[in-house]
Structure 1
Amino acid sequence: MPLQQIVLHPTVNNSIKYASTTVGRDKVYKAVQFFSRFLVWYFKRQGYDKTTIQRYNNLKSTLGISRKLMRFGKPVEHLQHATKALNEVDEITKFTTIAQQLGYATYLFWDTFVWAHNAGVYKFQQIKRINENAHRFWFIGLVFSIIHGLYKLYLNGYQHNFMRQVSKARFAESSEKSNVRSEAESLMKERKAVIIQLVQDVLDITIPATALGYLHLEDGLVGLAGFISSIMGIQSQWKKVNSTK
């Protein structure tokens, strides 16, 4: 039956697998949230009626509150990543990873209070300062994530050049060259993933940087940056969940 074919279609199965992950849902919510932020900015510039603007503003706010609740307990996960990074041999990788994860953990810690305030659970008098602290540590986490990504790109390029030299060596056997080619392909995949994450981080950092006054971007640009970053995150999570190569 057509209905059965639709319900049991592989794309539907993959979508269910994706939606069953917290990260997957968060990326979708984030995409809608920041596109709504862009639309609010656009509608204001175009002189749309207040009802339409308020509708999308409410959508943006509601999704923002929902995402904060979904991240409840997430700081512990980042603390675990920071603890595991203590075993890293490379000192730069260790430092940037720990700093990144501690930044994210602290950001989400403060963000929990922002959620409580916005959801009406408890009204904090110092909510402005709390919000600034959240954005500040988010910014710090992203800065170290970018540094970490750039360092990984450097290491990747160094390893790739080494593999290329080995593959061109006259004394290298055919079996060895085959292994080198395989490792080179793995390095290229890793490089692509690092670049994607770097682009996402650069786009995301405009959000806390603007909130803190480090950058002076219009809401529309910040909304688009967050939306594009979310779409990239959705694609990455989809591939991860559904093992798409």
Structure 2
Amino acid sequence: MYQTLKEECYEANMQLPRLGLVLFTFGNVSAVDRERGVFAIKPSGVPYEELTPYDIVICDFDANVIEGIYRPSSDTKTHALLYKTWDSIGGIAHTHSTYAVAWAQAGMDIPIFGTTHADHTHQDIPCAPVLSDTMIQGDYEHETGNQIVNAFHEKGLSPSDMEMVLLQNHGPFTWGKTAAKAVYNSAVLEEVARMAQLTLQINPHTPRIKDTLRLKHYERKHGPDSYYGQEE
């Protein structure tokens, strides 16, 4: 019944180890079917080399299992809340990639230093603050989603313009129109995090990219008069 959705989710998950974004059973990707009100997600603790499309779990937006023989990812409630809150997103990825996690553990936004960063988002990549003790001791995974949403609200960010976030002491979450785009954004985030770290090692006083160059690179790819790539 959900075979196409499961296959989309499976293929996206298999990209994580291929891209060097996860080790062992770290991380997860989900893919949504808005018409049916469900999403597919990796099962908890299943090694990628053993994963098959059949193993993918189907859940509703309240994180209830609709179909599957395994327990879904431990982050399922986070995915569910983001899908329920942001109806523009079609896939979510969560990794523990090295450089992105390092910035998250430091509790710092990733500064926008160059055009590689500006090609994908026009501002610093935000780091949502660590959860309160009450949130951690309560419905932790659900509250993780709330913390991301609240951080975007407080910073005036749109999930369509900023498709990635760090969560302090935890790691990165990314999303996109599809599960494949969410994984793409995870890879971009990791590379931008690595570049920023190397930049600060070379020159700790490096200024952010100048506004005209920042906006030029973002707008030529994402603006109303964008001209990057080929016409569809």
TM-score, normalised via structure 1 length: 0.29
Q: Which has the higher contact order (CA 8 A, sep 6+)?
A: 1
Structure with higher strand content = 2
Q: TM-score, normalised by structure 2?
A: 0.30
Task: Mark the structure with the bigger radius of gyration.
Answer: 1
